[in-house]
Structure 1
């Protein structure tokens, strides 16, 4: 059985045309998750909640750091006039204060990161439910959250943000 170019070319064109027709029926959407987590009302509310929750501790850390710097500057200025015992005692106090501030700073960062993840997961769950709802209602075949390139025709990010903002009201 021999195939010639004259018989294969029309068959290939037919297959290509069928693939193009089927691809046009495909409904694809793209969601920019970073934008959703930055611009949606639930994300902004979570950020405000975290700022309120952690602002007092952050201020305490800043104040402690400023007190340590002032004490260190005072020690540098007064150090030469101090007795050896007093200089050693104040140096130990400065080292202890520095250690305490660093410990509190690490605890603060760990607690903030944990709470951020908790709040982020709540927003992500809500966003995924909204995306699933859009997927089902508008009969999408595929919705992706990461893409190298996505044109505005398939970008449904603003629709997801509007739905999230409306769901919170």
Structure 2
């Protein structure tokens, strides 16, 4: 976080210094809140809905397996005093194996979900960067920053980026 701040500060200071004090008054700077774009833009919301649809069944299945495993563990705990030792040991081994299998499936699920989230985010960031570049060119900005510590509303172009992303066709 601090490194990003210093990088942004150095870039801004270098841009202002390079343009000189006479041109610095005419410097046109914009700021885009990346987190807000990823949270509020229609393509980001659509990606989240697709992911939820794609992963909800698998998540439900894992939760159901977890509930069955817990019920089996509770039943074993209740029945343990009356079970022969061999039967109790067999059931315990089955529960341990089932728990290990469930944990493996949950890890795989989480890895798949994270990979998909990263892919979707990368696609949205790429589209947002294209939109930002279009705004940069069309409105003749000298500098557009992302992820700064403070930015006033005068330089914040996040809403423009979100509107342009919402208006752009899905394939762009």
After TM superposition, list the pairs within 5 Å mapping 1:33-72 onto structure 2: 33-72=34-73
CA distance in 2, matches of 1:132, 1:69: 53
CA distance in 2, matches of 1:46, 1:168: 14
- Aligned equivalent of 1:111: 112
CA distance in 2, matches of 1:67, 1:47: 29
- Moved runs in structure 1, 4+ residues, more than 6 A? none
- Aligned equivalent of 2:98: 97
The aligned length equals 152
CA shift, 1:23, in A, is 1.4
Tell me the C-alpha RMSD between the 2 structures.
1.3
Q: Which segments of 5 or more consecutive residues in structure 1 lack a partner in the other structure?
A: 1-17
Q: Indicate yes or no: 2:148 matched with 1:147.
A: yes
SS at match of 1:58: helix
After TM superposition, list the pairs within 5 Å mapping 1:70-81 onto structure 2: 70-81=71-82
Structure number, greater radius of gyration: 1
Return the TM-score normalized by structure 2: 0.86
CA shift, 1:19, in A, is 5.1
Q: Which segments of 5 or more consecutive residues in structure 2 lack a partner in the other structure?
A: 1-18
CA shift, 1:34, in A, is 0.2
SS at match of 2:153: coil
CA distance in 2, matches of 1:145, 1:168: 24
CA distance in 2, matches of 1:161, 1:19: 32
